[in-house]
Amino acid sequence: MREHYDELETRDPEVRERGLFSALPGLIAAARERAPAWARILAGVDPAEVTDRAALARLPVTRKSALLAMQREALPFGGLTTVAPGELARIFASPGPIYDPEGRRPDYWRMGRALFAAGFRRGEVIQNCFSYHMTPAGSMLEGGAAALGCAVIPAGVGQTELQAQVMAEVRPDGYVGTPSFLKIILEKADELGRDCSSVRKALVSAEPFPPSLRQYFAGRGITARQCYATADVGLIAYESEAEEGLIVDEGILLEIVRPGTGDPVAEGEVGEVVVTVLNPEYPLIRFGTGDLSAVMPGPSPCGRTNVRIRGWMGRADQTTKVRGMFVRPEQVAEIVRRHPEIRRARLVVDRDDVRDTMVLRCEVAGAPEGLAEAVAATIQAVTKLRGEVELVPPGSLPNDGKVIDDVRKFD
C-alpha cells in the first residue's frame, strides 16, 4: 500500500519551490486581468517579477477581516473571483455573511490529501459530520472523499441519537467533523447500547484538539488526526502519521508574518498565517487568515518534505478598545517602523482601578538616550492615546505572536 497521496509530497523542497513560483506569475496576471479587486490591489505589480519569496513579500496582504466590507461593496465576492457566479459549482454563506465560491474542479478544496494522511483509503465509508448547511465544510470533505473513492454518509451536525444509530448500523470506517462532536456521538452510543466500534480513524478540524481528547479516542481504538482549513482557502495544512506538526498542502505558498504587517518573521517565530492559493477561480494572493502559527524546523519523519507548522495558535487580529478608542496591531507596527532601534514590541493593556493603561514593551539593544520619551510621543501621535514605554533586552518578549496583550479583568 502506498504511503503518500502522490509524488508531490516527497519532492525535493527546491523543486517544489520552483514549481510553485513558476506558476505564480501566470496566476497573478490572470487575477489582474479578470478580477477587478485584484487589478486594484496589484496595480503596478509586474507578474513576471514575482518569482521568489522576497518578491512575494513585497505584495500587499489582503486580510480575511477585510472580506466582509469588500463583498458589501461588490457583491457577492468582492471582485476577487475570475469567473461569473454561474460558472461555479456552489456558493456558500459563512457567518457574516461572507460568500465563499466553490469551482467545478474535482476536489476543489484539496481535502483528499488530508484524508489520505489520516488513513482513509478507496472503498471505505466515511460519516461526514461537518455542516452541509450554507457553510462549505461538509462539501469540502465530500469532495476529498470522492477523490479518494470513499462513500460518504452526509450526516451533518446535530441529531446525536440518529448519528449514533447510523454509525452503529451502517458501520462506517471513519469519521470527519469536529473532535468534540465525535466524543458526543460515542458517549450517546454508549448510553443507548449502540456498537460504534467500526470507526477506527477520524479526521478532525474546526476547533482545538487537545492531547487528552486524542488519548480518549486512542483508548477506543480510533486514530484521530487533524487538519487546518478555512472556508476561503480550503486545506492549508494537515497531520500525518508522524503527528509532529501540520504539513503544508502542495497547492499553497505559506508565509508567517508579523501581525499588523506583511513582513515575514524568522523560522520558529509565531506570527500570522498568510497564504497564496494557486486557485484559478478564486486566486487568493497573500491572503491573511488572521490565524497565528509558526514554522517548525526540518521535514516530517513521515517522508513528506513540505514545510511544517505548529497548527492553530490563536488569532492575529488582537484589536482592542482602550479608553473608548480602538487600538490595532497595525498601529503597533507603525510605531515600531518609526523607531528602527526597536526589534520587537508588545503593547500591554491593563487596568488601574477604573482607568485603562497602556505600556509598550520594546526589545532594544543599546538604546540611545531619550528613546523611551520619543517612542511615547509616537504612541500618542499614532493611537491618540497616552502610553508608557518599557525598554527590555532582545529576547525578553514571549514568542506567542501577540503584539497587543489585553490583560484587563472586568470582574
Q: In whole angstroms, give the CA distance from residue 168 to residue 194.
A: 6
Query: In the structure, what pLDDT confidence band is assigned to residue 324 with cuts at 50, 70 and 90?
Result: confident
Summarised one tens digit per residue, pLDDT across range 368-395 is: 899 999 999 999 999 999 999 999 999 9
Query: In the structure, what pLDDT confidence band is assigned to residue 2 with cuts at 50, 70 and 90?
Result: confident
Question: Looking at residue 411, what is its pLDDT?
Answer: 54
Averaged pLDDT score across all residues of the chain: 95
CB-based contacts of 126, cutoff 8 Å, min separation 6: 115, 120, 141, 145, 150, 151, 152, 153, 172, 173, 174, 175, 176
In the chain, % of residues over pLDDT 90: 88
Which residues belong to CATH 3.40.50.12780 in the chain? 13-315
Whose CA is closest to 302, among 233, 236, 225? 225
Grouping H, G, I as helix, E, B as strand and the rest as coil, residue 36 is helix
Question: Looking at residue 367, what is its pLDDT?
Answer: 83
Summarised one tens digit per residue, pLDDT across range 349-365 is: 998 876 889 999 999 99
Query: In the structure, what pLDDT confidence band is assigned to residue 32 with cuts at 50, 70 and 90?
Result: very high
| Cα 112 from chain centre | 18
Query: In the structure, what pLDDT confidence band is assigned to residue 267 with cuts at 50, 70 and 90?
Result: very high
What CATH number labels 320-406?
3.30.300.30
Question: Looking at residue 208, what is its pLDDT?
Answer: 85
Class of domain 13-315: alpha beta
Summarised one tens digit per residue, pLDDT across range 326-336 is: 898 989 999 99
Please determine, for residue 287, whether its predicted confidence score (pLDDT) is greater than 90: yes
Question: Looking at residue 410, what is its pLDDT?
Answer: 63
Rounded (5°) CA angle 108-110-111:
120
Query: In the structure, what pLDDT confidence band is assigned to residue 1 with cuts at 50, 70 and 90?
Result: low
In the chain, % of residues over pLDDT 70: 99
Question: Looking at residue 317, what is its pLDDT?
Answer: 82
Q: In whole angstroms, give the CA distance from residue 404 to residue 65.
A: 17
Query: In the structure, what pLDDT confidence band is assigned to residue 262 with cuts at 50, 70 and 90?
Result: very high
Summarised one tens digit per residue, pLDDT across range 221-254 is: 999 999 999 999 999 999 999 999 999 999 999 9
Question: Looking at residue 319, what is its pLDDT?
Answer: 85
Summarised one tens digit per residue, pLDDT across range 72-128 is: 999 999 999 999 999 999 999 988 889 999 999 999 999 999 999 999 999 999 999
pTM of the complete model: 0.88
Query: In the structure, what pLDDT confidence band is assigned to residue 299 with cuts at 50, 70 and 90?
Result: very high
- Per-residue HEC secondary structure of 99-158 comes to EEEECCCCCCCCCHHHHHHCCCCCCCEEEECCCCCCCCHHHHHHHHHHHHCCEEEECCCC
Whose CA is closest to 332, among 341, 319, 321? 319
Summarised one tens digit per residue, pLDDT across range 143-180 is: 999 999 999 999 999 999 999 999 999 999 999 999 99
Question: Looking at residue 150, what is its pLDDT?
Answer: 98
- Give the helix/strand (H/E) hosting 321: strand 320-322
Query: What residue has cell string 506569475?
Result: 25
Which cell is 219 given?
Answer: 483508548
Which residues belong to CATH 3.30.300.30 in the chain? 320-406
Please determine, for residue 189, whether its predicted confidence score (pLDDT) is greater than 90: yes
